[in-house]
């Protein structure tokens, strides 16, 4: 048995065999079926191990003739530097690739991200884009880059190792490699291109013939996924899961065995599948039946592909041998090399096999210049066959061998060789021609009606190849190159000949066209050819001889085109004593075509002849007698007239198809090789023909000849209108022919000048963004517009703000270039530009006339064009037009017509001035002004006459500036002719204009402001009206608002004192004054005061869970953690935030609105995505913010303390006493709750002796009656509290839950903390910097939380109070109280302050503490909590700097005392470690004090000290102010001194808690104070760093090489695998994407993600809602680049990122999403939960 032989033995045996090849093959024949395709399939790893051991290892042993690793080491020692110098990394689909705009030979030259990061191009103008797959990194290819061809990693260094790589390989090794590679490549080829009924060769045949077969299903693009699944289920009776697995694999690999069995059963399955799949689409699925052995060999052959790659990578020598073997012609008849056989079979191979073959080609043949050349020749040889196969194949191009063309055709030297030796231009065009032959009609022209778009799309791909070949034009021409190029050019002309005049259109009379004729195909072709045409011209221009010969060929081709012959003989036409001998032809009656590529190419070549000067030799190449310019211009003129007639609405009945064609004819995507060239052709003709004849021809073709001859009239309004429009168009054409000179060759302009002029004119329309400019400029074949080189010269850049994008404004000095009749303006652009420029001029009070600019002078060959402007026919035409206006024959002239005529007059006068300025009057023959004065002057009908009369015509008021300017110009010309100075007559009314400039400016500003205000008002009222309009019925039953204002007077008396005491807590407290002004309901517009008994007013509000403040991001957020909701854990992991947009309504109005929204929204298809109706969401009727509840406004009676009685009370009510009273009150209440009064025990255990304190003594310091609220207010209290509870705890609504009040306190506390956090983060002052809406929201929330208690069971509140108080002081019967380290003290403060009034409740009477009682309650609670918090801070701050012992002063001393007391209790656990600092404690306590100040401010309305409304440099400096406002000593440690006894006892108790000893031992995580502020993660400045990071991203759950979507969480920085089923998670029993799953934990449902490859932020809130948001990255032009569509380098914009941070901090993510969804209104929403 062979199995028993070792690799060494095998190798020797093979080596000694008489036929080594067949020995190896026999071994394979025996072994391969034992490993692959077994009855019971092996695990992948096991299979791989066997392959390595039994097959590959022996083969390598044989190759090296010894232990492979030993041989390999030797080999690498021989040629140490032989590692590949090219990167050659093959791109996966979606991988980011980079190209350098400065250095790449063409945009197809790209780098992988690693090479790019290490290359010089990183600092150049680079572009990035996502690869479509296939293709490889060009790093190291010297032909791909002008500079920097290698990155630092692939740089061969200075030693020229590349060339000396001629590998010195051991001859024996070389011989064995040749033999083995040939054998295995042959084997691989045979196996891959297997035909179903082939037989295995003798060597491979299995010894025992087994009757076991596979039925194999192949991938195709015709059948959908579902279809294949369906077919499989029916045909081979497998279940859906199995079918899905098969289908997925088939899609990925290209094929899959779906059944194993005997030949018969497999045949049956095959028939079944084919039959079942045929039902739906004509084409059956491809199925084959293969013997298991064959299948096994095929599988191994694929494995060999990867093995080859590995072996080749070892050494250049191996690579060379491999390439030789691949290219060696076979010995059989057709002599095809192995690589040719593989190429030619490509389209028949399945996906997986193709990939292996292509990768093999990449790493071998394409890595070496010489083999690349040989391969390219073979590729060219088979080119036609390959393309044909590709076109009939249905796979995508990126997995076709034809896609390799970009790798070889774009290499400049290779391209030239292929042209010279392989006539590749001809080959390519012949291939296209063959493919398109079926579209030819009888006249040998293309006709695409009814073509197959899919196939047509594939054919177009061939044009890319032609473009690649032409990409780098030769610097040196050889004779061979000339011959072959011209041969290709001739074939190209032949191809164009089939387009010349194709798809003619004929004007439709009477009836509208029935079927819109096909036109897209023709234009697609034109767009494909656009760059090719330009490149051909470019090539021609680089060699004089080629240019002349090309013109000759082109002219010949045009002459031989028999398209659109004239139908009748020439006739004579007369006008102004001129005779034109021309054939009649009417565009409106005879067929006309838009496609004239040969005419246009000829025009292009002609201009090049002029530009290069080669025109002088033209007569040697083309007989001048043969050059009939009238004839050459005929077709282009017809086309232009067609466009004009379409514009004049004459072709209405021909449908949209024609309109689209005319649009594209002049559009930026086509115009340079269509409209522009037609204009040039007319300019050529105008320069060569007699001007009068030329104009007469134009008039004839415009069908205006008779009209201007005066022998044609009509009363038909429609016809008159058409004539007018045609006249306008005709005049416009004349303006263009004379004035458009910005073409190199026509005048002496450079390409740069041309682009500058385009840019100026675009910016004259309006300021534009870089990307808009790019889109509006023509691209060359390298996708460059040249914008960057000129933009700085013509425009100023205005940076973007935090939204929007950067804009370019045209420079003032460039405005003189502005031509309102710029020929690339579309109609709307023309009027917009004209409008903009007029307005600008009137603002600047500069010259108002939009006069024609002075054009650059024509080159000599074109200089006679200007004669058009002074010929008789021209004067005649203008006179007739002006006459009509002067005589005001209505319907016979239009304002645009006159405007154009005036422009032409201006052009003529400018020309005359220029000529007069350059030479003496006698020499100048250009005599427009003379003719304009003379012709017709006898009857007073000269041009000048008319012009003078027009000046005062009211009907031409709009044009008066232009008329005036023209008249002035006449004066100038006159003076020039008379040689006198024109200055005298030039005196304009300039002075008048100037004086009022300032006034005007002011007035304008005032006007603008007024207009703006008006606009906003209108918007607002429209919004409301809309709403009221649509909800009219609701308003009919509205109750009259019942506002009593009798308390208003009493208010005033207090207002005066408000300023006195700026203390919000304790006996010094200032006046409570929390007045809601009279509010206007946004719905009914009624005014309403907020009063206890009045109908409730409510404020829109949105409650949401939040992790903005969390100190432990990512912690699992189960709502029942620890002590929540009664105690907020100090890490603030998740809180409940309540925000508001600050809009008020009547509760009743809101309820009606809400009900209406609920019912209408249900009927709106898309609204439910935005609004979660089940959760009570709605949009604010005014501002569209998303809300889910309302906060009722609680009226607060202004009240002030009686300071005397307060002082009196203070004398009795010490802190100690207060604690005793509280304690005994709670004890008493407890007794009542338990009813039986088991009060006996424990009294002794209490640290505070309650003494004689009695149950009711609490009441003795003052009680009063609580306010009574109207029903609607109490109702709203419940509504709001229930929502807060439901959202905050994520539970079903339950208004009886005892935690309802606790949640109200929580949201109050949390919202204040969030606000404080935000203010601190933005460096804003604590008071006075909140927006109004935020402030009223906060006030309403605090008041609501305070009042909510009254709607609850008082016992519940009392119990809560007791539980909370127990954290601070011992409370009887309360156990399991959390330690002070486990509670957030601000939440505790809010809870205690808001619940304490309930203690005053007596069984039968509703009571609450009086103002004095309240003052002391607040004071003591705050004092206790502050000290507790200080201790909390201190305990957590064990690594703070040690307090300087030497520190002096009261504060230091008090602090030291405090510290020493604390350390007494902690020393035992942590001796010496507890270090401390006064500043540290103060810093840690500060946020708490700030929150407390905000809280008491909102609760009491006592104004804070003014200094707190100023933002402080050092926040700590405001500590004394905060303390005084809160009635705390500014030396906080004094609190300890003041109440030493109480405090010592308490500290003793607090520190005694076991949790504290645990924490100090480090067994429990402690929160540090001040808490860290959460921000979004830091993003790199350069976006490609992120891309790089993403390219290294590995999905945690799968290892397949599918494209992933790395997505970055901006809250915590984790990279997720989005949109991929591999990373789906379960969330509440529902399958969701990785991002949704992560957001649930990381942000309590809110998520901010950056999709790295797409460069886009995704905002998420709750499972189903999300929206895209621009990433905070901008390119150098101040624009974002979603999807990296433009690919410019991107840099972080910190302002925008900060804006995003604020969006999150202020809890506006949900709102932002709702707003953008409302805006988008998508029909098919994105499934956000799958992200
Ligand atoms: Zn690379
Ligand atoms: Zn590299
Ligand atoms: Zn570069
Ligand atoms: Zn109302
Ligand atoms: Zn609002
Ligand atoms: Zn996160
Ligand atoms: Zn994944």
Q: What percent of the chain has pLDDT over 90?
A: 37
* Closest by Cα among 544, 556, 663 to 601: 556
Specify the pLDDT at position 1031: 46
- Asked if 807 and 824 count as a contact pair (C-beta separation under 8 A), the reply is no
Q: Please name which ligand lies nearest the alpha carbon of 1139.
A: 5
Q: What percent of the chain has pLDDT over 70?
A: 89
Q: How many CB atoms lie within 10 A of CB 1146?
A: 25
Q: How far apart are CA 1518 and CA 1512, in angstroms?
A: 7
Interval 1712-1728 mean pLDDT: 67
Q: Band the pLDDT of 737: cuts 50, 70, 90.
A: very high
The secondary structure of 612-623 as a DSSP string is HTGGGGHHHHS-
Distance from Cα 1596 to the centre of ligand 2, integer Å: 28
Q: Please name which ligand lies nearest the alpha carbon of 1624.
A: 7
Distance from Cα 81 to the centre of ligand 1, integer Å: 18
Q: How far apart are CA 926 and CA 915, in angstroms?
A: 8
Interval 524-536 mean pLDDT: 94
pLDDT at 1439 over 70: no
Could you tell me the pTM of the whole model?
0.79
Distance from Cα 1036 to the centre of ligand 4, integer Å: 12
Q: Please name which ligand lies nearest the alpha carbon of 1147.
A: 4
Q: Which residue has the tokens 């429609």?
A: 718
pLDDT at 1166 over 70: no
Distance from Cα 1058 to the centre of ligand 2, integer Å: 75
Specify the pLDDT at position 562: 63
Joined together, the tokens standing for residue 1047 give 């308390």
Q: Please name which ligand lies nearest the alpha carbon of 112.
A: 1
Distance from Cα 1030 to the centre of ligand 1, integer Å: 63
Q: Is 587 exposed, middle or buried (0-12, 13-18, 19+ CB in 10 A)?
A: buried
Distance from Cα 443 to the centre of ligand 7, integer Å: 58
pLDDT at 1170 over 60: yes
Distance from Cα 138 to the centre of ligand 2, integer Å: 8
- Asked if 746 and 610 count as a contact pair (C-beta separation under 8 A), the reply is yes
- Asked if 404 and 339 count as a contact pair (C-beta separation under 8 A), the reply is no
Distance from Cα 202 to the centre of ligand 5, integer Å: 85
pLDDT at 488 over 70: yes
Q: Please name which ligand lies nearest the alpha carbon of 1100.
A: 5
Interval 580-601 mean pLDDT: 91
Distance from Cα 1081 to the centre of ligand 4, integer Å: 4
Distance from Cα 98 to the centre of ligand 3, integer Å: 10
* Closest by Cα among 1384, 1488, 1301, 1375 to 1127: 1384
* Closest by Cα among 613, 499, 504, 630 to 564: 504
Q: Please name which ligand lies nearest the alpha carbon of 104.
A: 3
Specify the pLDDT at position 1242: 45
Q: Which residues pair with 1102 in a beta bridge?
A: 1139
Q: Please name which ligand lies nearest the alpha carbon of 1617.
A: 7
Q: Please name which ligand lies nearest the alpha carbon of 1181.
A: 5
Distance from Cα 1161 to the centre of ligand 4, integer Å: 21
Specify the pLDDT at position 60: 92
Of 700-704, 1511-1515, 1642-1646, the least confident: 1511-1515
Specify the pLDDT at position 449: 83
Joined together, the tokens standing for residue 560 give 């031989």
Distance from Cα 167 to the centre of ligand 1, integer Å: 24
The secondary structure of 1164-1179 as a DSSP string is STTHHHH--GGGT-EE
Q: Which residues pair with 1367 in a beta bridge?
A: none
Distance from Cα 1101 to the centre of ligand 5, integer Å: 9
Q: Please name which ligand lies nearest the alpha carbon of 138.
A: 1
Distance from Cα 139 to the centre of ligand 2, integer Å: 5
Q: Please name which ligand lies nearest the alpha carbon of 89.
A: 1
Distance from Cα 1587 to the centre of ligand 3, integer Å: 19
Distance from Cα 916 to the centre of ligand 1, integer Å: 64
Residues near ion ligand 3 (Cβ under 5 Å): 100, 102-103, 121, 124
Q: How far apart are CA 576 and CA 584, in angstroms?
A: 19
pLDDT at 503 over 60: yes
Q: Is 1277 exposed, middle or buried (0-12, 13-18, 19+ CB in 10 A)?
A: buried
List Cβ neighbours of 1167 (8 Å cut-off, separation of 6 or more). 1161
Distance from Cα 96 to the centre of ligand 2, integer Å: 15
Q: How many CB atoms lie within 10 A of CB 952?
A: 10
Distance from Cα 1187 to the centre of ligand 4, integer Å: 18
Specify the pLDDT at position 1229: 85
Of 366-380, 470-484, 1312-1326, 1436-1450, the least confident: 1436-1450
pLDDT at 557 over 90: yes
Distance from Cα 250 to the centre of ligand 5, integer Å: 54
Distance from Cα 1656 to the centre of ligand 5, integer Å: 28
Distance from Cα 87 to the centre of ligand 2, integer Å: 5
Q: Is 48 exposed, middle or buried (0-12, 13-18, 19+ CB in 10 A)?
A: middle
Distance from Cα 137 to the centre of ligand 1, integer Å: 5
Q: How far apart are CA 855 and CA 741, in angstroms?
A: 7
Distance from Cα 1181 to the centre of ligand 4, integer Å: 12
Distance from Cα 1686 to the centre of ligand 5, integer Å: 38
- Asked if 612 and 537 count as a contact pair (C-beta separation under 8 A), the reply is no
Distance from Cα 459 to the centre of ligand 2, integer Å: 34
Residue 581 carries which DSSP code?
E
What angle, 0 to 180 degrees and rounded to 10, lies between the N-to-C axes of helices 171-192 and 316-327?
50
Distance from Cα 107 to the centre of ligand 2, integer Å: 17
pLDDT in tens, 317-369: 888 999 999 999 888 777 889 999 999 998 888 888 998 899 899 888 988 88
pLDDT at 1268 over 60: yes
Distance from Cα 1343 to the centre of ligand 4, integer Å: 21
Distance from Cα 1180 to the centre of ligand 5, integer Å: 5
Distance from Cα 1159 to the centre of ligand 4, integer Å: 20
Q: How far apart are CA 1352 and CA 1002, in angstroms?
A: 62
Identify the residue with better confidence: 675 or 1256.
675
Q: Please name which ligand lies nearest the alpha carbon of 1272.
A: 4
Distance from Cα 140 to the centre of ligand 2, integer Å: 6
Distance from Cα 1086 to the centre of ligand 4, integer Å: 6
Distance from Cα 1594 to the centre of ligand 7, integer Å: 8
Distance from Cα 129 to the centre of ligand 1, integer Å: 15
Q: Please name which ligand lies nearest the alpha carbon of 1101.
A: 5
**Across the chain, what does the average pLDDT equal?**
84
Distance from Cα 1144 to the centre of ligand 5, integer Å: 8
Distance from Cα 1658 to the centre of ligand 6, integer Å: 13
Q: How far apart are CA 61 and CA 1614, in angstroms?
A: 47
Specify the pLDDT at position 1014: 61
Most confident range (mean pLDDT) of 210-219, 437-446, 698-707 is 698-707
**Helices and strands counted in the chain (H then E):** 64, 28
Distance from Cα 1181 to the centre of ligand 5, integer Å: 7
Interval 465-487 mean pLDDT: 92
Distance from Cα 1175 to the centre of ligand 5, integer Å: 19
Distance from Cα 128 to the centre of ligand 3, integer Å: 13
């Amino acid at each position: 048995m062979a199995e028993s032989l070792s690799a060494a033995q095998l190798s020797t045996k093979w080596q000694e065999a008489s036929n080594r090849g067949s020995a190896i093959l026999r071994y394979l024949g025996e072994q391969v079926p034992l490993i692959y395709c077994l009855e019971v399939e092996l695990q992948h790893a096991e299979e791989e191990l066997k392959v390595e051991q039994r097959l590959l290892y022996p083969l390598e042993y044989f190759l090296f003739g010894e232990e492979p690793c030993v041989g390999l080491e030797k080999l690498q020692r021989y040629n140490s530097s032989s590692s590949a110098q090219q990167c050659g990394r093959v791109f996966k689909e979606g991988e980011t690739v980079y190209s350098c705009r400065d250095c790449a030979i063409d945009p197809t030259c790209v780098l992988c991200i690693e090479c790019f990061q290490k290359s010089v191009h990183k600092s150049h103008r680079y572009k990035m884009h996502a690869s479509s797959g296939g293709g490889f990194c060009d790093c190291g290819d010297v032909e791909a880059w002008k500079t920097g061809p290698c990155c630092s990693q692939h740089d061969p260094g200075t030693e020229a190792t590349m060339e000396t790589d001629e590998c010195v390989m051991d001859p024996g090794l070389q011989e064995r490699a040749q033999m083995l590679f040939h054998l295995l490549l042959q084997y691989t080829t045979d196996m891959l291109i297997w035909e179903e009924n082939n037989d295995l060769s003798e060597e491979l045949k299995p010894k025992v013939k087994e009757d076991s077969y596979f039925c194999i299903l192949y991938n195709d693009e015709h059948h959908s996924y579902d279809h294949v699944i369906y077919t499989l289920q029916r045909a081979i009776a497998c279940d859906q899961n199995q079918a899905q697995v098969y289908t997925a694999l088939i899609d990925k690999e290209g094929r899959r065995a779906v059944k194993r069995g005997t030949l018969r059963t497999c045949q049956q399955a095959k028939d079944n599948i084919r039959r079942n799949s045929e039902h739906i689409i004509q084409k059956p699925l491809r199925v084959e039946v293969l013997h298991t052995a064959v299948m096994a060999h095929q599988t191994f052959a694929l494995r060999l592909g990867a093995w080859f790659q590995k072996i080749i990578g070892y050494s250049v020598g191996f690579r060379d041998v491999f390439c030789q073997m691949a290219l060696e012609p076979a010995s059989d008849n057709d002599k095809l090399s192995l690589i040719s056989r593989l190429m030619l079979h490509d389209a028949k191979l399945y996906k997986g096999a193709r990939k292996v073959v292509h990768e093999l080609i990449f790493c071998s043949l394409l890595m070496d210049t010489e083999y690349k050349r040989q391969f390219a020749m073979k590729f060219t040889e088979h080119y036609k066959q390959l393309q044909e196969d590709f076109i009939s194949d249905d796979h995508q191009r990126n997995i076709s061998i034809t896609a390799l063309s970009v790798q070889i055709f774009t290499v400049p030297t290779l391209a030239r060789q292929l042209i010279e030796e392989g006539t590749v231009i001809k080959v390519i065009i012949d291939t296209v021609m063959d493919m398109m032959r079926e579209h030819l009609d009888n006249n040998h022209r293309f006709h695409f009606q009814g073509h197959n778009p899919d196939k047509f799309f594939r054919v177009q791909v061939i044009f890319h190849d032609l473009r690649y070949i032409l990409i780098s034009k030769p610097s040196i021409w050889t004779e061979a190159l000339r011959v072959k190029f011209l041969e290709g050019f001739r074939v190209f002309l032949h191809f164009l000949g089939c387009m010349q005049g194709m798809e003619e259109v004929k004007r439709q009379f009477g009836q509208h066209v029935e079927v819109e004729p096909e036109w897209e195909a023709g234009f697609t072709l034109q767009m494909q050819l656009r760059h090719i045409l330009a490149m051909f011209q470019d090539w021609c221009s680089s060699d004089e001889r080629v240019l002349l010969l090309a013109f000759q060929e082109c002219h010949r081709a045009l002459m031989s085109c028999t398209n659109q012959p004239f139908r009748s003989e020439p006739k004579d036409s007369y006008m102004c004593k001129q005779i034109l001998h021309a054939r009649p032809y009417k565009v409106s009656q005879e067929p006309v075509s838009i496609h004239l590529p040969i005419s246009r190419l000829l025009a292009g070549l002609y201009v090049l002849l002029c530009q290069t000067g080669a025109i002088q030799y033209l007569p040697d190449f083309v007989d001048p007698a043969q050059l009939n310019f009238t004839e050459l211009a005929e077709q282009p003129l017809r086309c232009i007239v067609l466009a004009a007639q379409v514009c004049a609405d004459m072709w209405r009945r021909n449908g949209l198809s024609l309109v689209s064609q005319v649009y594209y004819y002049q559009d930026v995507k086509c115009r340079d090789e269509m409209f522009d060239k037609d204009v040039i052709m007319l300019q050529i003709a105008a320069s060569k023909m007699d001007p009068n004849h030329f104009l007469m021809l134009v008039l004839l073709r415009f069908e205006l000849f008779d009209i201007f001859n005066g022998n044609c009239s009509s009363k038909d309004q429609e016809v008159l209108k058409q004539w007018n429009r045609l006249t306008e168009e005709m005049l416009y054409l004349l303006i263009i022919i004379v004035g458009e000179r910005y073409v190199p060759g026509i005048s002496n302009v450079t390409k740069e000048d041309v682009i500058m002029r385009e840019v100026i004119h675009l910016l004259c329309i309006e300021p534009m963004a870089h990307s808009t400019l790019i889109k509006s400029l023509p691209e060359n074949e390298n996708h460059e517009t040249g914008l960057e080189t000129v933009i700085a010269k013509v425009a100023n850049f205005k940076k973007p703000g935090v939204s929007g994008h950067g804009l370019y404004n045209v420079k003032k000095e460039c405005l003189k270039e502005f031509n309102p009749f710029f020929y690339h303006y579309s109609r709307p652009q023309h009027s917009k530009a004209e409008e903009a420029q007029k307005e600008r001029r009137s603002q600047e009070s500069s010259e108002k006339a939009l006069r024609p600019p002075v054009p650059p002078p024509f080159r000599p060959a074109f200089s006679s064009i200007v004669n058009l402007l002074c010929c008789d026919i021209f004067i005649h035409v203008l006179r007739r037009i002006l006459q009509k206006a002067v005589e005001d024959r209505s319907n016979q002239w239009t304002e645009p017509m006159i405007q154009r005529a005036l422009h032409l007059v201006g052009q003529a006068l400018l020309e005359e001035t220029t000529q007069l300025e350059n030479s003496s009057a006698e020499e100048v023959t250009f005599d427009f002004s003379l003719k304009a004065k003379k012709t017709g002057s006898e009857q007073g009908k000269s041009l000048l006459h008319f012009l003078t009369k027009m000046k005062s015509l009211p009907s031409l008021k709009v044009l008066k500036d232009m008329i005036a300017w023209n008249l002035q110009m006449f004066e100038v010309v006159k003076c020039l002719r008379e040689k006198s100075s024109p200055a005298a007559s030039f005196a304009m009314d300039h002075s008048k204009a100037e004086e009022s400039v300032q006034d005007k400016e002011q007035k304008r500003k005032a006007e603008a402001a007024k207009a703006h205000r008006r606009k906003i008002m209108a918007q607002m009222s429209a919004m409301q009206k809309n709403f009221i309009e649509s909800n009219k019925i609701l308003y009919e039953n509205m109750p009259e608002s019942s506002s009593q204002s009798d308390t208003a007077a009493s208010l005033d008396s207090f207002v005066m004192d408000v300023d006195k005491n700026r203390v919000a807590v304790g006996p010094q407290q200032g006046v409570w004054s929390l007045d809601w002004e009279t509010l206007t309901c946004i719905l009914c517009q009624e005014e309403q005061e907020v009063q206890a008994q009045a109908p409730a007013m409510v404020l829109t509000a949105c409650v949401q869970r939040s992790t903005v403040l969390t100190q432990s991001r990512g912690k699992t957020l189960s709502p029942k953690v620890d002590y929540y909701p009664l105690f907020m854990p100090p890490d603030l992991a998740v809180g409940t935030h309540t925000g508001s947009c600050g809009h008020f309504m009547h509760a009743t109005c809101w309820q009606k609105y809400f009900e209406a929204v609920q019912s209408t929204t249900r009927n709106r298809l898309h609204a439910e995505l935005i609004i979660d109706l089940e959760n009570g969401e709605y949009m604010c009727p005014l501002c569209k913010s998303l809300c889910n509840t309302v906060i009722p406004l609680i009226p607060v009676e202004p009240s002030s303390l009686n300071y005397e009685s307060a002082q009196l009370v203070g004398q009795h009510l010490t802190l100690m006493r207060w604690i005793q009273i509280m304690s005994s009150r709670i004890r008493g209440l407890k007794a009542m709750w338990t009813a039986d009064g088991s009060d006996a025990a424990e009294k002794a255990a209490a640290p505070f002796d309650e003494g004689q304190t009695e149950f009711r003594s609490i009441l003795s310091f003052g009680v009063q009656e609580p306010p009574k609220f109207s029903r609607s207010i109490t109702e709203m209290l419940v509504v709001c509290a229930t929502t807060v509870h439901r959202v905050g705890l994520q539970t079903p609504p339950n208004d009886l839950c005892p935690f309802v009040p606790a949640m109200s306190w929580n949201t109050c506390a949390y919202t204040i903390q969030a606000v404080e956090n935000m203010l601190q983060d933005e460096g804003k002052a604590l008071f006075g910097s909140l927006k109004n809406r935020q402030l009223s929201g906060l006030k309403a929330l605090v008041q609501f939380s305070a009042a909510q208690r009254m709607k609850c069971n008082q016992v519940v509140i009392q119990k809560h109070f007791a539980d909370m108080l127990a954290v601070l002081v011992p409370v009887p019967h309360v156990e399991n109280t959390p330690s002070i380290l486990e509670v957030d003290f601000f939440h505790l403060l809010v809870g205690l302050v808001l619940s304490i009034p309930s203690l005053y409740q007596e069984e039968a009477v509703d009571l609450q503490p009086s103002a004095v009682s309240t003052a002391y309650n607040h004071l003591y609670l705050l004092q206790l909590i502050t000290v507790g918090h200080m201790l909390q801070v201190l305990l957590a701050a064990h690594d703070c700097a040690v307090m300087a012992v030497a520190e002096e002063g009261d504060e230091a001393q008090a602090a030291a005392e405090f510290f020493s007391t604390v350390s007494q209790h902690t020393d035992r656990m942590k001796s010496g470690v507890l270090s401390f600092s006064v500043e540290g404690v103060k810093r840690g306590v500060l946020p708490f004090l700030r929150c407390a100040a905000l809280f008491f401010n909102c609760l009491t309305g006592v104004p804070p000290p003014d200094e707190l409304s100023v933002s402080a440099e050092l926040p700590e400096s405001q500590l004394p102010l905060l303390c005084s406002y809160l009635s705390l000593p500014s030396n906080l440690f004094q609190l300890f001194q003041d109440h030493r006894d109480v405090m010592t006892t308490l500290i003793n108790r607090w520190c005694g808690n076991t949790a504290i000893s645990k924490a100090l031992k480090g067994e429990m995580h402690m929160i540090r104070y001040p808490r860290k502020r959460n921000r979004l993660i830091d993003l790199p400045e350069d976006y490609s760093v992120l891309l790089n990071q993403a390219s290294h991203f590995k999905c945690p759950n799968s290892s397949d090489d599918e494209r992933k979507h790395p997505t970055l969480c901006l809250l915590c920085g984790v990279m997720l695998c989005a949109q991929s089923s591999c990373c789906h998670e379960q969330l509440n029993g529902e399958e969701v994407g990785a991002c949704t799953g992560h957001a649930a934990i990381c942000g309590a449902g809110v998520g901010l993600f950056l999709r790295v490859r797409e460069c886009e932020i995704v905002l998420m809130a709750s499972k189903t809602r999300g929206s895209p948001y621009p990433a905070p990255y901008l390119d150098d032009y101040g624009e974002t680049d979603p999807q990296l569509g433009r690919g410019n380098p991107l840099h972080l914009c910190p302002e925008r990122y900060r804006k995003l941070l604020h969006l999150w901090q202020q809890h506006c993510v949900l709102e932002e999403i709702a707003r953008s969804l409302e805006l988008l209104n998508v029909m098919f929403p994105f499934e956000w939960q799958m992200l």
